[in-house]
């Protein structure tokens, strides 16, 4: 920032206007150049010494040179009369914010190179205003034109619509997580809703507060000790209660005050334990490896048990009233994520468990389902039957919410200049009607937007970076040929690149050809258009196929809690214990994504993964769920402190002989003493035999199976045994070595072949159960030749009194586990929660199955006859036809006509009709529509429109018609009466609004108005009827006064009672009073408002006093409000005083002081008084070559601040000395900086600066110096 | 990790392997970046010490780039007839908890002209400052022939000691040829280059068309297409380049040259 300030200063001090120069060309000396280049280049250097914390405020590190450069430039000009160059660069911004365009315009040629906008290339682009980087060439001769384009698409088109001051949202609340349905939905969007507590006393804003407390009694100490956290006892007792942040909960006024938890109770408690551990570490001064850490794997069964126990000691306290956390319930309130919901806009749909479609809440089958909205807080109360809250249930809520201000957030990284902003269809102009920050994506409108206005913003967002994440770069190319009445265009937008193994999407290629012809046929003008598009891997159908997960290994381990079975698969491991399956992956401690091999050791488990080795200590209860049980050893850890580097990364096979572990990677065999499992510097490297290792077995000797065969490790190295590869499994049984391979199971005795146990089919794995050999083959599980199970089994394992088998997922990503013996039992995916997808590798789907092709054709005929203009059109568009840049795939065929009457200026009338078929290939629907609209201008203006539509979809036909009729007239009185709505049949439904407005000004000082609106709806709640009356009376001669009155009445239709709110305000400005040499100008204002929720009175008195050259301003404000619902009263009083004098030459003193008090009163609570004050004294001294300004300010919150700024122009440039000091909370800090600017030459400036920084308590200081050289051009 | 991706990404654009002299390659000027290595055969640029004796005038070129806001490269180079030098700072900021990446690099070279031939040598120095202070260097030899075509050959790291104990700084060889002459009535340059022949061989084609104060450039190699240009005044020049890659995001850099 300081450098930027220096640059700005230099720019102001030594700015030169843009350089314009002219010189002769190299090859064509007779032709001129005009290139305008303007900009600035700077080089900066800074260095600081002293306290690092103080220097970090200046972006400096002690003793380290900080170098900076910046450049911005604008270039525009013409070369040789046909070459135009436009460029704009700023090297502080990314590539998306640089502009560069070269235009060659020499007839018949026209070319553009650089960044330009496309969108008018025939009918190829569905979205206009695409910013691209590339080249475009056009050549034209007589009636023939040819153009070509090759460009890289810079952004992705988006369009956002904002309706006036409202935004629209759709939220779906499922029961299960959408992508992983075996997991519950995220807390805030779960249909189970927020946990809530009903409060026994009203929650009074400003008085009440919520806190989370732990009951730290003896039982709590025992609980901590049982979980090994007794070190937290003392710190928990000292910090037993913490105030909940207001963002952690919501309060709504239902039958009583209700507190809704925005965080799940388990998360609240987990965070509380994290905080206590942090406090303990800070209190004990622990750091690095000595720091205590959260001991549980988040989300694990063990953590769940711990937090459930902790919840017994936790309570939410509201005004000291305790509410046990375990009493919090769900299934009633949903948070919509927005506040200030527009009640009439709410649309709730329900998906019942077991169904696939959503039903509207008005469905007769849902008569037991009711909702109630709390619009201010954005909370929806559900009164649903308890049986609804089950797997498969979901709720979809559509609603509008009130936005505030004229700023619209469009998202980050917009492409500069790509936006088009429309207000009610009218295009707005940048910097006149709006401004836009492309990096931050903020649009600010300068025009006011009414509640009914529509703001539409079309724009492009950068591909990549902070914009839209993309896996491929996208190019757009094509050519068009135009002649006389016809044109032919061929275009293609294509993603470039090949998918990586982990790419989730396929590259898209969208090609399109359009032919058009137009001409005259008798009195008719015609236009014919034919098009064809092919879209390979369109954006909504480009997902790559995840690999199929598979069980790679099954072992049994003994833990402190008893036996457990471990299943290794492509997404981690799954542990089966106590009848439950739990999943562990890289987030929990696995050194890789896929678990490839397992090796159980006494109270330890080794897991070989695709990128390292994991050791799990099993000696503690709940070992898998404790963070400290897991040790990750990645290849970079293997190589620490090793002179010879281990080459492999994937742990393919593991074995052990009681003292050593053998670990085969793709590059070598590692021999690991069991005592040095986590000390890789003690590991030994050995070479591998030919092939990639597949299996290791220790059976008095070490055997290794690979893709090339079977090998035995001996004194002279690896010895090949007579078994060809690949070898899939090894097993020692009854002194025989069984080798599973491509041909079956070979039996070796003492290394010599002794027959086949199975022959003729590949065998993947082997196991012995009850002294019999079991194996898996491609067709199923076998017991010594007898098929026991059919299926795609991959591996067998023995444990927990049974023989287990794992499978490979089928093409529907279903993956099961089986207990094969003693009884066959299937464990489906719903029980094991093992994802059937292998998310580490994806394969390409077939392009022909993900390609959409389709044609389109249209013919338009038009002519004029007498007073009528007639247009006829025929069109057909198949669903595969898509324009480049859009995702719309409408399938429509039909004809239409439009007739306009042009014969009478006072009457406008148009008739239109259309008959069409839509979705011909999927769900054919017939649609007939028509319309008549007109306007008649006489003594008053009459508008009318009627647009009936008849649709038939499958066996259902529906008639609907929008209609509107209205009349308006006059200026005083002025009135407007309208009725608009929609009619649908069958199931006759009529809805709309009748609206009337009247405004009248009986004499100039009095204006009156009334606005009335009444909705109507033949079924359901119609809405709210509103009537607003306004009056304003102004008067006065030497003084001025005004009184305003507004009375609003509203009532929901169906309920007889009206609610009213009113506001009365008045203002009085007295004439200026003269007294001696002074003048006094007092003014007063007062406002009274009444709404059902709050009554409020406020008044302000302001006086401006001028005496000689002194000006005083005094302001007093009083206010009182009352909220009947909570019986809370607030009173506010504020004073402000300011003085300014111009009595002394070259001295400008100014003093400002404000003070305010606020008192909250409630019958049940003690009064709460808060106050605030601020003082600022400022003196400015002007002298011949400069100015000095001293500012002293104070407020209780920010302490005392002193700022002095001296600016002196010493001829070469300005000298600025700025000193500041702050005293806050017994701490003082300050900064003094001297900055000098020199103009070295017409284009050159130098800025030198140096500063001192200091702070007290503790005492510290730092200094820095820097220089910036700037070239302006 | 993000830092490494950026580094690899940049070298994907440039088409070279990421070796220990990455910081020096990151600092290449916009003009050299656009020509994709063919600049070895151009006397105006300091990339080949053998071409230094053929430089027409002195140049002081400065380049700054901030790739994705992650890696900031600060470079200034000076070249005059027979002599060239460059200073580079690559600052990756904090790339991990309490882990910074900051490397200084320098280059100094000199050349002699023997008729149409030029022979030069340069020393490149790498001084990683963070995360660990280290020092390394390499000696390169350059050859230049200014005949009907320009030919430049650069033998890199003939003698070298890598700053990183377990990573070598192996020798490499690059060569390029360029022709300057009349192209459609304008002064133009076209050339071809073969880089890193001993490690990751790559080819490049490049061309430039000079319209007097404005020059437009184009470079092409298997993995990148670069579009660039320059405008010149009597005392400075601005060079810029956009580099397109089939799979990596667009990159951009701009240089300011005094002369």
What pLDDT is recorded for position A180? 73
Full domain range(s) for residue A424: 159-164+404-462
Last residue of a domain, one of A437, A462, A487: A462
Distance between A358 CA and the closest CA of chain B, angstroms: 41
Last residue of a domain, one of A462, A479, A507: A462
What pLDDT is recorded for position B48? 92
What pLDDT is recorded for position A29? 37
**What is the count of residue pairs from A and B with beta carbons less than 8 Å apart?**
130
Residues A371 and A446 in one domain: no
What pLDDT is recorded for position A1271? 93
Contact state of A133 with B212 under an 8 Å Cβ cutoff: no
Handedness of CA A805, A806, A810, A812 (dihedral sign): positive
At A913, give phi and psi (nearest 5°): -155, 150
Residues A647 and A731 in one domain: yes
Return the exposure string of A964-991: e unless at least 16 CB atoms fall within 10 Å of the residue's CB, then b. bebeeeeeeeeebbbbebebeeeeeeeb
Whole-number Å distance between alpha carbons of A423 and A466: 28
Please state the rounded mean pLDDT for residues A902-912: 89
Q: Beta partners for A611?
A: none
Does the residue A1108 lie in any domain? yes
Whole-number Å distance between alpha carbons of A736 and A747: 7
Percent of chain A with pLDDT over 90: 53
Give A12 or A531, the one with higher predicted confidence: A531
What pLDDT is recorded for position A6? 35
Give A873 or B245, the one with higher predicted confidence: A873
The SS3 call for residue A1211 is coil
Give A323 or A725, the one with higher predicted confidence: A323
DSSP label of A940 = S
Residues A341 and A447 in one domain: no
pLDDT surpasses 90 at A355:
no
Enclosing H/E stretch for A748: strand A744-749
Return the structure tokens found at A22. Answer: 């002219």
Residue A604: other Cβ atoms inside 10 A: 19
Contact state of B76 with A43 under an 8 Å Cβ cutoff: yes
Chain A contacts of B186, Cβ < 8 Å? 26-27
Domain count, chain A: 4
Please state the rounded mean pLDDT for residues A598-611: 93
Q: Beta partners for A161?
A: A456
Whole-number Å distance between alpha carbons of B109 and B78: 10
- Which of B240, B241, B243 should we substitute to test contact with A (largest number of A Cβ atoms within 10 Å)? B240
Residues A364 and A452 in one domain: no
Average pLDDT, chain A: 88
pLDDT surpasses 50 at B5:
no
Please state the rounded mean pLDDT for residues A1139-1163: 94
Residue that has been written with the tokens 């036809």 in this structure = A881
Question: Which of A70, A79, A464 is nearest residue B64 as measured by Cβ atoms?
Answer: A70
pLDDT surpasses 90 at A404:
no
pLDDT surpasses 90 at A1048:
yes
Residue A30: other Cβ atoms inside 10 A: 7
Handedness of CA A213, A216, A222, A227 (dihedral sign): positive
Q: Which residue of B has its CA nearest to A132?
A: B250
- What is the 3-class SS of A575-588, one letter each residue? EEECCEEEEECCCC
What pLDDT is recorded for position B69? 59
Give the angle subtended at the CA of A265 by the CAs of A263 and A270, to the nearest 5°: 90
Percent of chain A with pLDDT over 70: 95
Distance between B63 CA and the closest CA of chain A, angstroms: 8
Last residue of a domain, one of A731, A747, A767: A767
Residues A341 and A424 in one domain: no
Residues A369 and A391 in one domain: yes
Enclosing H/E stretch for A269: helix A265-284
Say whether residue A154 is in contact with chain B using an 8 A CB cutoff: yes
pLDDT band of A887, cuts 50, 70, 90: low
pLDDT surpasses 70 at B158:
yes
Residues 6+ apart with CB under 8 A from A654: A597, A598, A599, A606, A608, A661, A662, A663, A664, A696
Q: Which of A444, A346, A326, A428 is nearest to A395 (CA)?
A: A346
- What is the 3-class SS of chain B, one letter each residue? CHHHHHHHHHHHHHCCCCCCCHHHHHCCCHHHHHHCCHHHHCCCCCCCHHHHHHCCCCEEEEEEEEECCCEEEEEEEEEECCEEEEEEEEEEEEEECCEEEEEEEEEEEEEEEECCEEEEEEEEEEEEEECCCCCEEEEEEEEEEECCCEEEEEEEEEEEECCCCCCCCCCEEEEEEEEEEEECCEEEEEEEEEECCCCCCEEEEEEEEECCCEEEEEEEECCEEEEEEEEECCCEEEEEEEEECCCCCCEEEEEEEEC
Please state the rounded mean pLDDT for residues A39-67: 90
Q: What are the pLDDT digits (tens) for A1183-1228? A: 988 999 999 999 998 899 999 999 999 887 889 999 999 998 888 9
How far CA A920 is from CA of A890, A915, A917, A928, in Å, comes to 10, 14, 7, 15
Contact state of B242 with A98 under an 8 Å Cβ cutoff: yes
pLDDT surpasses 60 at B17:
no
Does the residue A393 lie in any domain? yes
Whole-number Å distance between alpha carbons of A853 and A546: 26
Q: Which of A1037, A1113, A1105 is nearest to A1069 (CA)?
A: A1037
Whole-number Å distance between alpha carbons of B53 and B150: 13
Q: Which residue of B has its CA nearest to A114?
A: B227
Say whether residue B8 is in contact with chain A using an 8 A CB cutoff: no
Enclosing H/E stretch for A64: none
Q: What are the pLDDT digits (tens) for B99-157? A: 788 899 999 999 999 999 999 999 999 999 888 889 999 999 999 999 999 999 999 99
Whole-number Å distance between alpha carbons of A87 and A345: 48
Say whether residue B250 is in contact with chain A using an 8 A CB cutoff: yes
Residues A410 and A394 in one domain: no
Residues A618 and A760 in one domain: yes
pLDDT band of A125, cuts 50, 70, 90: low
pLDDT surpasses 70 at A122:
no
Is A593:A571 a contact under the CB 8 Å cutoff? yes
Query: Distance from first CA to last CA of chain B, Å, rounded?
Result: 40
Is A23:A33 a contact under the CB 8 Å cutoff? yes
Return the structure tokens found at B102. Answer: 């900051």
Q: Residue A717's Cα: distance from chain center in Å?
A: 58
Residues A396 and A409 in one domain: no
At A681, give phi and psi (nearest 5°): -70, -15
What pLDDT is recorded for position A277? 93
Please state the rounded mean pLDDT for residues A1057-1080: 90
Does the residue A5 lie in any domain? no
Residues 6+ apart with CB under 8 A from A735: A749
Please state the rounded mean pLDDT for residues A389-399: 93
What pLDDT is recorded for position A1068? 95
Handedness of CA B162, B163, B167, B169 (dihedral sign): negative
Residues A387 and A415 in one domain: no
Please state the rounded mean pLDDT for residues B197-219: 90
pLDDT band of A501, cuts 50, 70, 90: confident
CB-count burial class (<10 Å; 0-12, 13-18, 19+) for B56: exposed
Enclosing H/E stretch for A241: strand A241-243
Q: Which of A693, A788, A789, A784 is nearest to A738 (CA)?
A: A784
Name the region of A175 (left: φ>0; alpha: ψ -120 to 50; beta: rest). alpha
Peptide bond into A753 cis (omega under 30): no
**Domains plus CATH for chain B?**
2-258 (2.40.160)
Residues A397 and A408 in one domain: no
Residue A1090: other Cβ atoms inside 10 A: 16
Contact state of A79 with B213 under an 8 Å Cβ cutoff: yes
Does the residue A302 lie in any domain? yes
Residues A282 and A178 in one domain: yes
What pLDDT is recorded for position A121? 55
**A:115-134 residues touching chain B, CB 8 A cutoff:** 133
Q: Which of A1094, A1194, A1095 is nearest to A1154 (CA)?
A: A1194
DSSP label of A645 = P
Chain A contacts of B234, Cβ < 8 Å? 21
Q: What are the pLDDT digits (tens) for A261-288? A: 999 999 999 999 999 998 999 888 887 6
Is A1206:A1217 a contact under the CB 8 Å cutoff? yes
Contact state of B89 with A67 under an 8 Å Cβ cutoff: yes
Does the residue A229 lie in any domain? yes
CATH of the domain at A576: 2.130.10.10
Question: Which of A21, A70, A473 is nearest residue B245 as measured by Cβ atoms?
Answer: A473
Return the exposure string of A1124-1156: e unless at least 16 CB atoms fall within 10 Å of the residue's CB, then b. eebebbbbbebebebbebeeeeeeebebbebee
Chain A contacts of B89, Cβ < 8 Å? 65, 67
pLDDT surpasses 50 at B12:
no
* Lowest pLDDT segment from A59-63, A162-166, A755-759, A775-779: A162-166
The SS3 call for residue A239 is coil
Contact state of B240 with A87 under an 8 Å Cβ cutoff: yes
Chain B contacts of A497, Cβ < 8 Å? 246-247
Is B191:B41 a contact under the CB 8 Å cutoff? yes
CA atoms within 13 A on the CB side of A635: 16
Is B56:B48 a contact under the CB 8 Å cutoff? no
Give A156 or A1261, the one with higher predicted confidence: A1261
pLDDT surpasses 90 at A46:
yes
**A:33-92 residues touching chain B, CB 8 A cutoff:** 33, 35, 37, 39, 41, 43, 64-65, 67-71, 73, 75, 77, 79-80, 83, 85, 87, 89, 91-92
Question: Which of A35, A39, A152 is nearest residue B244 as measured by Cβ atoms?
Answer: A152
What pLDDT is recorded for position A468? 65
Name the region of A1000 (left: φ>0; alpha: ψ -120 to 50; beta: rest). beta
Does the residue A358 lie in any domain? yes
Is A1036:A1044 a contact under the CB 8 Å cutoff? no
Say whether residue B229 is in contact with chain A using an 8 A CB cutoff: yes
ipTM of the complex: 0.89
pLDDT surpasses 50 at A15:
no
The SS3 call for residue A983 is strand
Does the residue A1031 lie in any domain? no
Residues 6+ apart with CB under 8 A from B46: B52, B55, B59, B77, B79, B84, B86, B109
pLDDT band of A25, cuts 50, 70, 90: very low
Maximum Cα–Cα distance for chain A, whole Å? 128
Does the residue A929 lie in any domain? no
């Amino acid at each position: 920032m300081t450098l930027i300030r220096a640059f700005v200063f230099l720019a102001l001090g030594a700015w030169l206007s843009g350089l314009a120069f002219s010189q002769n060309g190299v090859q064509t000396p007779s032709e001129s150049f005009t290139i305008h280049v303007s900009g600035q280049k700077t080089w900066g250097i800074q260095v600081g010494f002293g306290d690092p914390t103080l220097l970090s405020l200046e972006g400096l590190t002690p003793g380290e040179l900080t170098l900076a450069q910046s450049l911005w430039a604008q270039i525009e000009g013409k070369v040789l009369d046909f070459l135009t160059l436009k460029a704009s660069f700023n090297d502080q911004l990314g590539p998306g914010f640089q502009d560069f365009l070269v235009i060659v315009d020499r007839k018949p040629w026209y070319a553009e190179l650089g960044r330009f906008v496309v969108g008018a290339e025939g009918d190829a682009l569905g979205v206009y205003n695409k910013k691209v980087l590339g080249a475009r060439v056009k050549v034209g001769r007589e009636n023939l034109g040819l153009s070509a384009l090759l460009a890289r698409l810079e952004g992705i088109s988006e369009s956002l619509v904002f309706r006036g001051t409202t935004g629209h949202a759709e939220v779906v609340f499922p029961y299960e997580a959408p992508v992983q349905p075996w997991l519950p939905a995220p807390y805030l969007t779960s249909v189970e809703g927020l946990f809530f507590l009903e409060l026994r006393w009203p929650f009074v804003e400003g008085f009440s507060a919520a806190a989370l407390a732990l009951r730290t009694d003896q039982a709590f100490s025992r609980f901590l000790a049982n979980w090994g956290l007794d070190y937290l006892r003392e710190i928990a007792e000292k910090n037993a209660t913490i105030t909940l942040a207001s963002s952690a909960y919501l309060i709504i006024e239902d039958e009583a005050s209700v507190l809704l938890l925005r965080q799940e109770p388990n998360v609240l408690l987990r965070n509380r334990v994290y905080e206590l551990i942090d406090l303990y570490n800070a209190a004990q001064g622990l750091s690095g490896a000595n720091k205590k850490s959260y001991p549980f794997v988040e989300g694990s069964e063990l953590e769940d048990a711990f937090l459930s126990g902790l919840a017994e000691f936790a309570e939410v306290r509201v005004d000291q009233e305790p509410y046990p956390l375990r009493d919090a319930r769900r299934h009633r309130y949903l948070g919509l994520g927005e506040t200030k919901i527009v009640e009439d806009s709410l649309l709730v749909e329900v998906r019942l468990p077991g169904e696939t479609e959503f039903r509207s809440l008005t469905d007769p089958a849902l008569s037991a389902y009711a909702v109630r909205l709390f619009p201010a807080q954005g909370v929806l109360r559900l009164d649903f039957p308890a049986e609804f809250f089950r797997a498969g249930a979901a709720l979809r809520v559509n609603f509008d919410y009130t936005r505030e201000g004229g700023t619209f957030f469009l998202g980050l990284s917009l492409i500069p200049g790509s936006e088009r902003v429309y207000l009610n269809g009218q295009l707005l102009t940048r910097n006149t009607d709006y401004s836009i920050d492309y990096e931050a994506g903020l649009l600010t409108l300068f025009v006011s937007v009414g509640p009914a206005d529509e703001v539409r913003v079309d724009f492009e967002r950068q591909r990549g970076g902070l914009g839209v994440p993309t896996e491929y770069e996208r190019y757009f190319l094509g050519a068009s040929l135009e002649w006389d009445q016809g044109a032919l265009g061929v275009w293609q937008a294509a993603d470039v690149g090949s998918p990586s193994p982990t790419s989730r999407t396929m590259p898209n290629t969208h090609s399109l050809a359009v032919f058009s012809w137009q001409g005259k046929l008798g009195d008719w003008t015609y236009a014919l258009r034919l098009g064809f598009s092919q879209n390979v891997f369109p954006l909504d159908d480009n997902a790559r196929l995840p690999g199929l997960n598979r069980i790679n290994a099954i072992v049994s381990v003994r833990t402190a809690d008893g036996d457990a079975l471990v299943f290794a698969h492509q997404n981690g491991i799954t542990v089966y214990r106590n009848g439950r399956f739990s999943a562990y992956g890289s987030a929990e401690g696995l050194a890789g994504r896929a678990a490839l091999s397992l090796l159980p050791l006494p109270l330890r488990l080794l897991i070989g993964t695709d990128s390292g080795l994991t050791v799990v200590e099993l000696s503690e209860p709940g070992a898998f769920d404790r963070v400290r049980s897991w040790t990750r050893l990645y290849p970079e850890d293997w190589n620490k402190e090793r002179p010879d580097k281990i080459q492999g990364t994937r742990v393919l096979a593991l074995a052990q002989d009681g003292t050593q572990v053998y670990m085969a990677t793709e590059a070598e065999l590692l021999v690991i003493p069991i005592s040095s499992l986590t000390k890789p510097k003690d590991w030994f490297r050995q070479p591998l035999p030919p092939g990639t290792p597949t299996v290791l077995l220790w059976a008095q000797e070490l055997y290794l199976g690979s893709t090339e065969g079977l090998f035995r490790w001996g004194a002279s190295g690896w010895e090949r045994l007579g078994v060809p590869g690949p070898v899939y499994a090894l097993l020692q049984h009854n002194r025989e070595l069984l080798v599973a391979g491509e041909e079956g199971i070979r039996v070796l005795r003492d290394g010599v072949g002794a027959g086949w146990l199975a022959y003729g089919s590949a065998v993947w794995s082997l196991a012995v159960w009850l002294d019999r050999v079991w194996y898996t083959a491609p067709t199923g599980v076998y017991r010594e030749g007898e098929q026991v199970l059919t299926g795609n089994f991959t591996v067998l394992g023995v444990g927990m009194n049974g023989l287990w088998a794992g499978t490979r997922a089928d093409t529907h990503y279903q993956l099961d586990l089986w207990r094969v013996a003693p009884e066959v039992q299937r464990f489906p995916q719903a029980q094991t929660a093992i994802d059937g997808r292998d998310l580490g590798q994806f394969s390409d789907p077939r392009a022909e199955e993900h390609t959409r092709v389709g044609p389109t054709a249209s013919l338009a005929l038009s002519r004029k006859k007498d007073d009528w203009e007639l247009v006829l059109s025929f069109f057909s568009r198949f669903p595969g036809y898509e324009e480049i840049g859009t995702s719309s795939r409408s399938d429509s065929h039909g004809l239409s006509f439009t007739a306009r009457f042009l014969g009478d200026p006072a009457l406008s009338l148009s008739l239109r009709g259309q008959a069409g078929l839509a979705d011909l290939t999927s769900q054919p629907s017939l649609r007939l529509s028509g319309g008549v609209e007109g306007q008649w201008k006489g003594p008053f203006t009459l508008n009318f429109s009627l647009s009936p539509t008849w649709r038939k979809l499958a066996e259902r036909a529906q008639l609907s018609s929008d209609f509107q009729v209205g009349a308006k007239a006059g200026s005083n009185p002025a009135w407007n009466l309208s009725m608009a709505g929609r009619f649908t049949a069958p199931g006759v439904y009529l809805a709309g609004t009748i609206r009337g407005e009247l405004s009248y000004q009986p004499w100039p000082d009095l204006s009156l108005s009334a606005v009335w609106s009444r909705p109507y709806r033949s079924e359901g709640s119609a809405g709210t009827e509103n009537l607003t009356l306004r009056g304003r009376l102004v008067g006065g001669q030497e003084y001025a006064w005004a009184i305003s009155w507004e009375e609003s009445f509203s009532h929901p239709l169906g309920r007889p009672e009206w609610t009213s709110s009113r506001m009365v305000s008045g203002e009085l400005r007295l004439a200026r009073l003269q007294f001696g040499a002074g003048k006094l100008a007092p003014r007063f204002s007062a406002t009274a408002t009444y709404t059902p929720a709050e009554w409020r009175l406020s008044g302000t008195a302001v006086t401006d006093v001028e005496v000689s050259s002194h000006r005083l301003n005094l302001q007093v404000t009083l206010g009182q409000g009352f909220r009947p619902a909570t019986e809370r009263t607030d009173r506010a009083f504020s004073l402000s005083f300011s003085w300014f004098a111009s009595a002394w030459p070259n001295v400008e003193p100014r003093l400002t002081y404000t003070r305010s008090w606020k008192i909250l009163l409630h019958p049940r609570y003690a009064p709460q008084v808060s106050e605030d004050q601020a003082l600022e004294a400022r003196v400015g001294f002007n002298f011949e070559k400069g100015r000095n300004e001293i500012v002293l300010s104070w407020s209780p919150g920010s302490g005392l601040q002193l700022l002095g700024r001296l600016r002196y122009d010493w001829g070469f440039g300005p000298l600025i000395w700025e000193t500041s000091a702050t005293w806050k909370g017994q701490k003082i800090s300050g900064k003094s900086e001297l900055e000098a600017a020199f103009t070295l030459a017409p284009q050159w400036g130098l800025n030198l600066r140096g500063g001192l920084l200091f702070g007290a308590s503790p005492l510290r200081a730092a200094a820095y110096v820097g220089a910036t050289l700037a070239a302006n051009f | 990790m993000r830092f490494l991706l950026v580094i690899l990404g940049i070298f994907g654009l440039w088409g070279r392997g990421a070796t220990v002299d990455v910081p020096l390659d990151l600092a290449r000027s916009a003009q050299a970046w656009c020509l994709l290595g063919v600049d070895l055969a151009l006397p105006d640029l300091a990339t080949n010490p053998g071409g230094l004796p053929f430089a027409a005038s002195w140049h002081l070129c400065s380049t700054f780039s901030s790739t994705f806001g992650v890696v900031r490269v600060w470079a200034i180079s000076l070249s005059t007839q027979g002599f060239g030098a460059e200073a580079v700072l690559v600052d990756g900021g904090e790339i991990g908890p309490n882990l910074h990446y900051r490397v200084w690099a320098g280059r100094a070279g000199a050349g002699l002209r023997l008729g149409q031939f030029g022979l030069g040598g340069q020393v490149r120095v790498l001084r990683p400052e963070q995360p660990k202070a280290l020092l390394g260097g390499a000696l390169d030899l350059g050859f230049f022939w200014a005949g009907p075509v320009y030919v430049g050959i650069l033998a890199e790291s003939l003698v070298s000691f890598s700053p990183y104990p377990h990573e070598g700084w192996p020798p490499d060889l690059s060569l390029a040829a360029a022709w300057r002459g009349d192209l459609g009535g304008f002064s133009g340059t076209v050339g071809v280059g073969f880089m890193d022949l001993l490690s990751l061989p790559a080819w490049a084609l490049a061309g430039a068309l000079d319209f007097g104060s404005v020059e437009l450039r184009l470079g092409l190699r298997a993995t990148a297409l670069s579009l660039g240009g320059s405008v010149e005044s009597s005392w400075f020049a601005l060079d810029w380049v956009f580099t397109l890659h089939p799979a990596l995001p667009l990159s951009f850099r701009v240089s300011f040259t005094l002369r």
